[in-house]
RNA sequence: AGGCGCGUAGCUCAGUGGUAGAGCACUUCCUUGACACGGAAGGGGUCGGCAGUUCAAUCCUGCCCGCGCCUACCA
């Protein structure tokens, strides 16, 4: 066996093992395997994506769960894939097209542009999946799915057609969120609101047509007055009551505007108490327009440019039009004032353009009937949220759910399966391109497919079952649906999780997952969101190269506490460095074990301990560490079951570092010195070392798959051992090795040793000096224990002699206790006679010197501080 | 506006109705054959504030202060 290098070098090991695991097919789960299923579907990253810390966190968590359950003999399946990410991908390719060829997608046309995106995907796509491999993710690659794969697309179309047949999808002209830059409709969720933008509340007057005066309105968007079709006042407002029913003159367009009374829209305390009503460009105004049957006049085209309805302002962009309208109002002496006003402005989630509410014909999903079963399922505990508090957020959104605008004016995505007949103007909804109109029978030439595609989330909400073959009744669905746990960031609770709940219950009649584990967001160490613009990103790919995937994974696991609302993981590279130190510690503990294995026989040791430590006649340190490793196993396993990932990681860390390394290896060193090669005593120590380390490697494997495999492979194993740590059994408590008596004995011994070391430290007893230690105990039981393990105490405390007495019994006659240091170890008095150990004069000199130096420093600093100029 | 959550060591965060914890940082000492990416020993906290319940409150209750997140609205 080659000796391990002194420092752990992850890069040498990681890629080798990943390839090996792949080759041996360990990642694949057979849907027919007679084992309890455990399934996770990956939140599919965008095909445009590159691995960022958020992915690294999620995938680490998912891999921990998957490897852990796989080792616990579950049929563990973790399904990979990517999302076509409509807007995001289209934007990336359009940008590239512009940069390289100076062309827009319209220059290419739809067919050619779609081809370019597929080309792009061929070149760049799935890079993120390769990056997941470097992270060590044990994904079932044979099941990799892309949301635009033909079978998946068929599932998307199937879902659309079924919902349409059921009357849950409809087409309507409604006020929707429009991005003038992306030139597409957006759902409510895709609009982000910047809180507290400083804006202007601008006031201007509409003259009454009869010349009897004017009404002053207040608005943050003066340009929309071009589309005003009413001015509303509160019916009870004495200032305006007389004007209700009168007509106003529009200064720029040939249109008379009624003054209407509306108690819902108007808050008489705000602004001037009169509200201009633009039904085509504001949601509240739209609803007001419906109540009062007002005309709805769209004044912008799809790029946000004023159209012909805007008269003299036609052709101006929204924001230029605002200035122009204000300027003209001023000229006409209709401007009445202006105030600063804090308000929120909606931006496109993708391109940050200010969203324009527009009147538009779009496709919608009726959500209320879908939401109801999902709410019930969570209420009944069919799906549980971890942390539980998120279910409240879920309920709140679900109870107030609004219809979902699913059509997008994009070219990249699943095209809406609806055809319009040029003859009879009816539409046909079909799973495949129809040959004739379903209404008038006109031939295929008369039919034109809807130009729009579906919202990306309309495909991802089918992910947990469409990836498993739906709508076919597959073996995969039978085995792996419902999936066991869904892990994702809480930011897509509504976008994705809630919608999957609805789709799963609707199409599969079962919840899509039993547990939703919501993890936090990763930010930089100051709590700022990582972004390329800010330059505060930490690239997981770089981190892996520098410190290894294991270190990154362990750092993330360590930080993964339940996702309390409003909290995030403040991540810094020092977290990874800490984890790397841990990896190095593990590595060196393995080196120690390996250096002391001469003559070890794994099978013989296994035989000896087959019936537990009593029959094997193990000594205290061995009994202790074998008991402690069971406690650690129980702690880690329980923590994982309860989704306490950080607790699990910390329990394993604590065991390895503070028990195995700090104590047991130290005990084993002297134990091995005492036990001659080839003896039973030596075999027992070697066995305990190997067992504790091997168990720790299995415990840690889900967190740090590479280093644990590497070390595990090098450890001696009994005959018939599996070929890889990946397919060993996860440690669960083995009560045969629980040994309360040994643990409490050892705890006492440890306390005494710590006290002795403390005395040595305090009294500056030189390291090599052997000291005499006197222990006074309160009862015979403790006396027996300490007598029994005197040798260990002496070795660890560097004592030449350890004597134990009942307290009260005098040591007089044996030692002069005049010059003795004493410390309590629990209720044990630990005494160290200092005569001859500490040279009192030398000690005094040393202290004097120190005092002198401190005084000098103090004087110097006092002087410095009393210098006014310095301060 | 409504909802959720947070405030504990210098920093990042666990935690509990009964003597307050971890990692990092800090101080002192130590190159001993696993590891200086290490070891040993330490220092450091009125558990945001005030009041209440209790034999006992960091934990429960109320109010206040500070911070974060979400949803809706904002002419």
pLDDT recorded at residue A314:
87
* A408 CA from B73 C1′ (Å): 26
- What is the predicted pLDDT for the residue at A1? 44
**Of A510, A725, A806, which is closest to residue A26 (Cα–Cα)?**
A725
CA A326 to CA A332: how far, in whole Å? 10
Q: What is the pLDDT of residues A156-175, one digit of tens each?
A: 999 999 999 999 999 999 99
State the Cα–Cα distance between residues A108 and A114, nearest whole angstrom.
9
Does position A616 have pLDDT exceeding 80, yes or no?
no
Q: Is the pLDDT at A844 greater than 80, yes or no?
A: no
State yes or no: pLDDT of A761 exceeds 50: yes
Q: What is the pLDDT of residue A858?
A: 53
> How large is the average pLDDT for residues A831-843?
68
Nearest to A468 by CA among A486, A480, A457: A480
Distance (Å, whole) CA A206 – CA A246? 12
Does residue A46 approach strand B to less than 7 Å at its CB? no
Q: Between these two residues, A497 and A534, which has the higher pLDDT value?
A: A497
Query: Closest nucleotide to A397's CA, by C1' atom?
Result: B71
Round to a whole number and report the distance in Å from the CA of A9 to the C1' of B27.
32
- A279 backbone dihedrals φ, ψ, rounded to 5°: -60, -25
A810, pLDDT greater than 90 = no
| pLDDT at A2 exceeding the cut of 80 | no
Å: A535 CA to B14 C1': 31
Mean pLDDT value of segment A756-769:
85
Tell me the pLDDT band of A870, cut-offs 50, 70 and 90: very low
A338: CB within 7 A of chain B nucleic strand: no
Mean pLDDT across A13-21: 93
Average pLDDT over residues A108-117: 93
Task: Name the residue among A832, A816, A661, A669 with its Cα closest to residue A756.
Answer: A832
Lowest mean pLDDT among A193-197, A340-344, A448-452: A193-197
pLDDT 10s digits, A632-677: 999 999 999 999 999 999 999 999 999 999 999 999 999 999 888 8
Three-state SS annotation for A146-172: ECCCHHHHHHHHHHHHHHHHCCCEEEE
Mean pLDDT of A762-776: 85
User: Beta carbon of A409 within 7 Å of strand B?
Assistant: no
Query: How far is the C-alpha of A272 from the C-alpha of A603, rounded, in Å?
Result: 90
Of A157-166, A303-312, A471-480, A857-866, the least confident: A857-866
Q: Is the pLDDT of residue A696 over 80?
A: yes
Band (pLDDT 50/70/90 cuts) for residue A4 is confident
Confidence of residue A612 (pLDDT cuts 50, 70, 90): confident
Q: Quote the CA–CA distance of A374 and A380 in Å, as a whole number.
A: 10
Task: Confirm whether any atom of chain B, the nucleic acid strand, is less than 7 Å from CB of A528.
Answer: no
Q: What is the pLDDT of residue A840?
A: 57
The more confident residue out of A362 and A866 is A362
The 10s digit of each residue's pLDDT in A780-795 is 999 999 999 999 999 9
Per-residue confidence band for A852, with pLDDT thresholds at 50, 70 and 90: low
Q: What is the pLDDT of residue A845?
A: 54
Whether CB of A588 is under 7 Å from strand B: the answer is yes
Judged against a pLDDT cut of 90, whether residue A850 lies above it is answered with no
Q: Tokens at residue A860, please?
A: 């110097």
pLDDT attached to residue A869: 47
| Tens of pLDDT, residues A192-207 | 887 767 788 889 999 9
- At A123 the pLDDT is 85
Residue A848 pLDDT exceeds 60? no
Lowest mean pLDDT among A107-116, A424-433, A454-463, A614-623: A614-623
Strand B bases contacted by the protein (CB, 7 Å): 2-6, 12-15, 22-24, 28-32, 34-42, 67-75
Contact A527, A569 (CB under 8 A): no
Is residue A846 scored above 60 in pLDDT? Answer: no
A336 touches strand B (CB under 7 A): no
Query: How high is the pLDDT of residue A864?
Result: 47
Query: In the predicted model, what is the mean pLDDT of residues A625-631?
Result: 94
* C-alpha distance from residue A297 to each of A222, A294, A309, A380, A575 (Å): 15, 9, 8, 47, 57
Question: Encoding tokens for residue A297?
Answer: 């006049």
For position A665, what pLDDT does the model report?
96
* Mean pLDDT of the region A770-786: 90
A395 touches strand B (CB under 7 A): no
DSSP string, A239-268: TTGGGTT-EEE-SSSS-EEEEEE-TTT--T
pLDDT single digits (tens) A273-320: 889 999 999 989 999 998 889 999 999 999 989 999 888 888 999 999
What's the pLDDT score for residue A818?
A: 66
A850: CB within 7 A of chain B nucleic strand: no
How many other C-beta atoms are found inside a 10 Å radius of the C-beta of residue A407? Answer: 25
Average pLDDT of chain A to the nearest whole number: 89
Nearest nucleotide by C1' position to the A202 CA atom = B75
Long-range residue pairs from A394-399, CB within 8 A, at least 24 positions apart, any chain: A394/A493, A394/A497, A394/A498, A397/A493, A397/A494, A397/A498, A398/A371, A398/A374, A398/A498, A399/A371, A399/A375
The model's pLDDT over A217-240, given as tens digits with 9 standing for 90+, comes to 989 899 999 999 999 998 888 888
Backbone angles phi, psi at A839, to 5 degrees: -75, 105
Alpha carbon A468 to chain centroid, angstroms? 24
pTM: 0.92
Cis peptide before A657 (omega within 30 of 0): no
Reported as a single tens digit per residue, the pLDDT across A348-362 is 888 888 899 999 999
The answer to whether A330 CB sits below 7 Å from nucleic acid chain B is no
Q: Which of the 248-307 residues on chain A come under 7 Å of nucleic strand B at their beta carbon? A: 266-271, 273-276, 282-284
Residues 746-785 in A having a C-beta less than 7 A from any atom of strand B are 754, 757-758, 760-762, 767
What pLDDT sits at residue A837? 65
- Kindly provide the residue ranges of all beta strands, DSSP E only, lying in A349-383, ordered along the sequence: 356-365
Strand B reaches within 7 A of the A351 CB: no
- Between CA A347 and CA A192 the distance in angstroms is 5
Q: What distance in Å separates the CA atoms of residue A187 and residue A355, rounded to the nearest whole number?
A: 11
Closest C-alpha to A259, from A217, A222, A226, A221: A217
Q: How confident is the model at residue A532 (pLDDT cuts 50, 70, 90)?
A: confident
């Amino acid at each position: 066996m080659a000796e391990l290098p002194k420092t752990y070098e992850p890069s040498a090991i990681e890629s080798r093992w990943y390839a090996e695991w792949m080759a041996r097919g360990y990642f694949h789960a057979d849907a027919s395997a007679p084992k309890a299923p455990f399934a996770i579907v990956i939140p599919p990253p965008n095909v445009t994506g590159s691995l960022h810390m958020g992915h690294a966190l999620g995938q680490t968590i998912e891999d921990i769960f998957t490897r852990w359950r796989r080792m616990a003999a579950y049929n563990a399946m973790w399904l990979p894939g990517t999302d076509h990410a409509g807007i995001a991908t289209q934007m990336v390719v359009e940008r590239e097209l512009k940069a390289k060829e100076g062309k827009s997608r319209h220059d290419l046309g739809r067919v050619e542009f779609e081809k370019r995106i597929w080309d792009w995907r061929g070149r760049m796509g799935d890079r993120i999946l390769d990056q997941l491999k470097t992270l060590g993710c044990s994904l079932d690659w044979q099941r990799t799915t892309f949301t635009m794969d033909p079978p998946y697309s068929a599932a998307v179309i199937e879902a659309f057609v079924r919902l349409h047949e059921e009357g849950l999808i409809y087409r309507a002209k409604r006020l929707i969120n429009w991005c003038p830059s992306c030139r597409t409709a957006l759902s409510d969720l895709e609009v982000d609101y910047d809180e507290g933008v400083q804006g202007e509340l601008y006031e201007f007057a509409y003259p009454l047509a009869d010349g009897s005066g004017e009404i002053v309105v207040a608005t943050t968007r003066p340009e929309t007055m071009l589309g005003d079709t009413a001015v509303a006042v509160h019916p009870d407002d004495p200032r305006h009551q007389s004007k209700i029913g009168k007509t106003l003159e529009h200064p720029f367009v040939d249109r008379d505007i009624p003054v209407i009374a509306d108690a819902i829209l108007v808050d008489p305390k705000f602004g001037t108490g009169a509200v201009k009503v633009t039904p085509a460009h504001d949601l509240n105004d739209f609803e007001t327009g419906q109540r009062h049957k007002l005309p709805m006049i769209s004044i912008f085209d799809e790029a946000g440019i004023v159209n012909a309805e805007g008269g003299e302002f036609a052709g101006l962009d929204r924001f230029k039009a605002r200035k122009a309208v204000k300027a003209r109002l001023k000229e006409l002496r209709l401007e009445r004032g202006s105030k600063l006003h804090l308000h929120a402005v909606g931006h496109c989630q993708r391109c940050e353009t200010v969203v324009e509410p527009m009147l538009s014909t779009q496709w919608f999903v009726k959500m209320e009937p879908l939401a109801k079963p999902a709410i019930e399922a969570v209420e009944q505990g069919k799906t549980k949220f971890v942390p539980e508090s998120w279910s409240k957020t879920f309920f709140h959104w679900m109870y107030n759910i609004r219809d979902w605008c699913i059509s997008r004016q994009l070219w990249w995505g699943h095209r809406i399966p609806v055809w319009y007949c040029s003859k009879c103007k009816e539409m046909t909804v079909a799973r495949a391109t129809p040959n004739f109109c379903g209404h008038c029978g006109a031939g295929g030439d008369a039919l034109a497919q809807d130009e729009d595609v579906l919202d990306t989330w309309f495909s991802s909400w089918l992910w947990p079952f469409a990836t498993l073959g739906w709508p076919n009744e597959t073996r995969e669905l039978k085995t792996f649906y419902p999936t066991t746990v869904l892990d994702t960031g809480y930011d897509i609770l509504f976008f994705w999780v809630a919608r999957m709940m609805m789709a799963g219950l609707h199409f599969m009649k079962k919840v899509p997952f039993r547990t939703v584990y919501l993890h936090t967001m990763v930010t930089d160490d100051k709590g700022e969101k990582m972004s390329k613009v800010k330059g505060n990103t930490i690239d997981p790919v770089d981190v892996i190269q520098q410190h290894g995937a294991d270190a990154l994974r362990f750092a993330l696991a360590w930080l993964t506490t339940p996702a309390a609302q409003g909290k995030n993981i403040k991540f810094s590279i020092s977290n990874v460095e800490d984890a790397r130190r841990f990896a190095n510690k593990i590595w060196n503990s393995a080196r120690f074990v390996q250096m002391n294995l001469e003559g070890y026989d794994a099978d013989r040791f296994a035989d000896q301990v087959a019936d537990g430590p009593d029959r094997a006649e193990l000594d205290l340190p061995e009994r202790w560490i074998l008991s402690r490793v069971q406690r650690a196993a129980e702690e880690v396993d329980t923590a994982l079951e309860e989704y306490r990932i950080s607790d699990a990681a910390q329990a394993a860390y604590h065991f390895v570092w503070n028990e195995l390394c700090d104590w047991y290896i130290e005990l084993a060193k002297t134990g091995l010195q005492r036990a001659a090669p080839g003896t039973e005593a030596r075999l027992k120590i070697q066995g305990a070392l190997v067992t504790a380390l091997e168990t720790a490697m299995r415990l840690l494997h889900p967190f740090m798959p590479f280093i644990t495999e590497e070390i595990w492979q090098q450890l001696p194993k009994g005959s018939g051992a599996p070929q890889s740590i990946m397919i060993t059994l996860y440690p669960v408590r083995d009560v045969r090795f629980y040994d309360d008596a040994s643990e409490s004995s050892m705890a006492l011994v440890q306390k005494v040793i710590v006290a002795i070391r403390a005395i040595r430290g305090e009294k500056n007893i030189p390291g090599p000096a052997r000291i005499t230690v006197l222990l006074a105990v309160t009862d015979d039981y403790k006396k027996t224990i300490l007598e029994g393990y005197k040798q260990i105490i002496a070795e660890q405390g560097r004592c030449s002699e350890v004597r134990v007495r009942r307290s009260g019994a005098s040591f007089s006659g044996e030692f002069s206790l005049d010059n003795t240091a004493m410390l309590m170890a629990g209720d044990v008095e630990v005494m160290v006679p200092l005569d001859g150990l500490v040279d009192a004069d030398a000690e005094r000199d040393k202290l004097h010197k120190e005092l002198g130096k401190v005084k000098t420093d103090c004087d110097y600093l006092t002087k410095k501080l009393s210098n006014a100029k310095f301060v």
